[in-house]
């Protein structure tokens, strides 16, 4: 999983990813249809970080308890529907977070009301989050070789 906290990617990196995305998707679909498997060699950094996965599991449980919903929440259910670990529920008319967090931050970055905050580790959340439409609006035309 990519690191989705602390600091965002540089605009040029985002632009390059978005520009290459259609080709990557075509390659993935082509490989799936051909039942071709792509074996990636792990990097040294990846191998080292994978040894710390036990700490990530412990930290994710602690991190999950730091979530809080502010007064902007309208109980739309976006966070519940989009949580990959079913960690979020509504109890007694309030959003409740369990201990089964995957640290994906979909709930924070995707909440249409901006109602979910992180009390214990607010410094880990990127200020403007990841909103694809912001990047597409910013330089979407440029991705196709056209200047905005």
Q: CATH no. for residue 36? A: 3.30.70.20
Residue with tokens 């007064």: 71
* Percentage of the chain exceeding pLDDT 70: 78
Residue 4 belongs to some domain of the structure: no
| Banded model confidence at residue 94, pLDDT cuts 50, 70, 90 | very high
Q: Is pLDDT of 14 > 50?
A: yes
| Mean pLDDT, rounded, for 90-117 | 91
pLDDT averaged over every residue in the chain:
81
Predicted model pTM:
0.62
pLDDT level of residue 97 (50, 70, 90 thresholds): very high
Is the pLDDT at 139 greater than 80, yes or no?
no
pLDDT average, residue stretch 57-79? 89
Q: Is residue 42 part of a domain?
A: yes
Within a domain: 111: yes
Looking at residue 115, what is its pLDDT?
95
**Residue 126: per-residue pLDDT:** 79
Query: What is the domain range of residue 19?
Result: 11-142
- Binned at pLDDT 50, 70 and 90, residue 41 comes out as confident
CB hemisphere CA count around 108 (13 angstroms): 24
What radius of gyration do the chain's Cα atoms show?
18
In a domain, 6, yes or no: no
CB atoms within 10 A of CB 97: 20
120 domain residue, yes or no: yes
Q: How long is the chain?
A: 148
Domain presence at residue 88:
yes
- Cα–Cα distance, 107 to 97 (Å, whole number): 10
Residue 43's SS3 state is coil
Between CA 145 and CA 38 the distance in angstroms is 30
What total of structural domains would you count in the chain? 1
**Has residue 3 been placed in a domain?**
no
Is the pLDDT assigned to residue 20 strictly greater than 80? yes
* Confidence at residue 77, expressed as pLDDT on a 0 to 100 scale: 94
* Residues contacting 65, CB < 8 A, separation 6+: 97, 99, 120
Does residue 92 sit within a domain? yes
């Amino acid at each position: 999983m990519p690191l989705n906290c602390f600091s965002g990617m540089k605009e040029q990196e985002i632009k390059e990813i978005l520009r290459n995305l259609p080709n990557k998707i075509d390659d993935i679909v082509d490989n799936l249809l051909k039942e071709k498997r792509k074996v990636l060699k792990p990097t040294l950094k990846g191998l080292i970080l994978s040894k710390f996965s036990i700490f990530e599991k412990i930290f994710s449980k602690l991190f999950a308890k730091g979530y809080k919903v502010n007064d902007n929440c309208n109980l739309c259910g976006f966070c519940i529907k989009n949580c990959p670990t079913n960690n979020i529920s509504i109890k007694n008319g309030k959003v409740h977070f369990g201990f089964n967090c995957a640290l994906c931050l979909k709930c924070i970055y995707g909440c249409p009301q901006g109602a979910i905050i992180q009390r214990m580790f607010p410094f880990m959340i990127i200020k403007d989050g990841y909103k694809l439409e912001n990047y597409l609006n910013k330089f979407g035309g440029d991705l196709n070789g056209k200047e905005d």
